């Protein structure tokens, strides 16, 4: 039985305005479906409130066909349109659909850009930060250990739970939009201690020490454990921010991993026993040379032609160190004619990269540094693309299916070399 506090009852009863009433109605239905007994308070919400392509707004043309109508009737599942209040707390907008400056290069029309620009102004007017990234923790929103959050975006969720030790389920735009207004989310799943304990032990027998290796390990684990929690131990090293964002993104793509433990690395797994908390280990999984090679082959199964006409980096959005690496590999060189290079990052990180000169070096070589989106989210690739090269297991998983192209997976250096030569020469060492 769901129990409400007096404040929650006031919101549900309409005493705190129509928006809070409708948001609580949605969240109560959500909590009952989950079997949650109460709500937790959250002041850290990351979603995509109110933003929509014009075709979705057209579905609500009788209600104004605008941002307000989408927020009320689509996000909050309300039967009427009302004013949306200015948000309090830490509310942010995750990735959007297009780069605010390079939208033409991405193939968008002026009308589509005008619609996106209008949505962004409406979002800002509600005191929602337009971070426009899948890595909010790299753009000024890094929750504290134990903090209850309500986040969308699979790669951000798994990083939030595992690396930062904050607490969130993988939410949708409906629950996050409602949580921005009410500061409530059901007390279920990863908000609860008992749900955060490990299920499977993964023993790593081969060295995993860079984003290429971490991405493959994540992809292998995700396929096996699906939505359960792996505890990883063994020959792992250099588990830095970049490596862990690629690992988590891969595990959340091949499976549905929302949390993992790395023994001696992540905050809730100082030792193996702590990660399991007394639970029985469901299975022991080995990752050795054979598993590594099979994973590499699986990721490259969609690659046939070695003629590469598109290289995409920055999934999840590139950190400043990754842009420095790309600039170093491209410095003084030129891309192959007929091969495009798009690197995706957040606005926040791009500003840093511009100040350090990395963006200019990449642009001089013929590449573009884009923000706010990625090729899979935007379903945007250079015109005529048939074969892509990627250093992200997540993007390799999604992009060929979304866009009907071939794809190669390899190291960042493999991908930059393909951009310079127009040929895929990556191989597993």
In the chain the domains, ranked by start, together with CATH numbers, are 6-193 (3.30.499), 197-298 (no CATH), 300-421 (3.30.499.10)
Distance CA 216, CA 221 (A): 9
Distance CA 306, CA 325 (A): 24
Distance CA 426, CA 408 (A): 8
Residue 191: count of CB within 10 angstroms of its CB: 20
Q: How many CA atoms lie within 13 A of 280 on its CB side?
A: 1
Please give the torsion angle defined by the CA atoms of residues 253, 256, 258 and 263, in that order, rounded to the nearest 10 degrees. -80
Model-level pTM? Answer: 0.97
Distance CA 60, CA 79 (A): 11
Residues with pLDDT less than 50, the chain? none
The pLDDT of residue 196: 98
The pLDDT of residue 232: 98
The pLDDT of residue 328: 98
Closest CA to 257 of 169, 176, 173, 186: 169
Query: What are the residue ranges of helices labelled H in 129-196?
Result: 154-159, 173-182
Joined tokens for residue 192: 């609860």
The pLDDT of residue 331: 98
The pLDDT of residue 376: 96
Distance CA 243, CA 215 (A): 8
Distance CA 177, CA 43 (A): 12
Provide the 8-state DSSP code for 231: E
Query: What are the residue ranges of helices labelled H in 166-317?
Result: 173-182, 211-225, 241-254, 272-276, 289-299
The pLDDT of residue 364: 98
The pLDDT of residue 248: 98
The pLDDT of residue 97: 86
The pLDDT of residue 393: 98
């Amino acid at each position: 039985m769901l129990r409400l506090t007096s404040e929650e009852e006031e919101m549900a009863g309409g005493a705190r305005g129509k928006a809070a009433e409708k948001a609580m109605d949605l969240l109560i239905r959500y909590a009952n479906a989950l079997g949650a007994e109460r709500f937790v308070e959250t002041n850290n919400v990351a979603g995509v409130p109110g933003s929509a392509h014009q075709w979705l707004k057209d579905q609500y043309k009788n209600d104004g066909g605008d941002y307000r109508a989408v927020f009320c009737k689509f996000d909050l599942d309300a039967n009427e349109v009302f004013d949306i209040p200015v948000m309090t707390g830490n509310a942010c907008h995750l990735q959007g659909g297009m780069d605010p400056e390079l939208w033409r290069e991405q193939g968008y029309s002026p009308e589509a850009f005008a619609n996106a620009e209008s949505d962004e102004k409406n979002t800002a007017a509600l005191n929602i930060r337009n971070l426009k990234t899948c890595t909010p923790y790299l753009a000024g929103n890094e929750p504290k250990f134990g903090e209850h959050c309500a986040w969308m975006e699979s790669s951000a969720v798994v990083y939030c739970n595992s690396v930062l030790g904050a607490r969130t389920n993988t939410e949708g735009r409906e629950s996050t939009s409602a949580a921005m207004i009410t500061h409530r989310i059901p007390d279920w799943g990863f908000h609860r201690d008992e749900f955060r304990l490990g299920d499977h032990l993964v023993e790593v027998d081969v060295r995993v020490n860079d984003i290429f290796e971490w991405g493959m390990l994540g992809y292998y684990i995700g396929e096996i454990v699906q939505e359960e929690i792996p505890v990883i131990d063994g020959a792992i090293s250099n588990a830095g921010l970049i490596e862990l964002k690629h690992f988590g993104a891969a595990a959340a793509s091949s499976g549905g991993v929302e949390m993992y433990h790395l023994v001696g690395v992540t905050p809730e797994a100082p030792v193996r026993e702590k990660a399991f908390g007394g639970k029985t280990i469901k299975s022991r999984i080995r990752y050795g040379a054979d598993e590594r090679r099979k994973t590499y082959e699986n990721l490259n199964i969609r690659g046939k032609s070695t003629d590469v006409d598109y290289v995409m980096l920055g999934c999840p959005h590139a950190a400043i160190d990754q842009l420095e690496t790309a600039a170093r590999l491209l410095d003084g060189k030129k891309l192959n004619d007929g091969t495009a290079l798009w690197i995706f990052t957040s606005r926040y990180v791009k500003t840093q990269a511009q100040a350090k000169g990395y963006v200019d070096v990449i642009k001089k070589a013929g590449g573009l540094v884009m923000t706010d989106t990625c090729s899979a989210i935007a379903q945007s690739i250079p015109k005529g693309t048939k074969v892509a090269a990627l250093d992200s297991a997540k993007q390799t998983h999604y992009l060929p299916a979304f866009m009907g192209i071939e794809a190669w997976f390899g190291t960042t250096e493999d991908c930059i070399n393909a951009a310079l030569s127009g040929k895929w020469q990556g191989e597993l060492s």
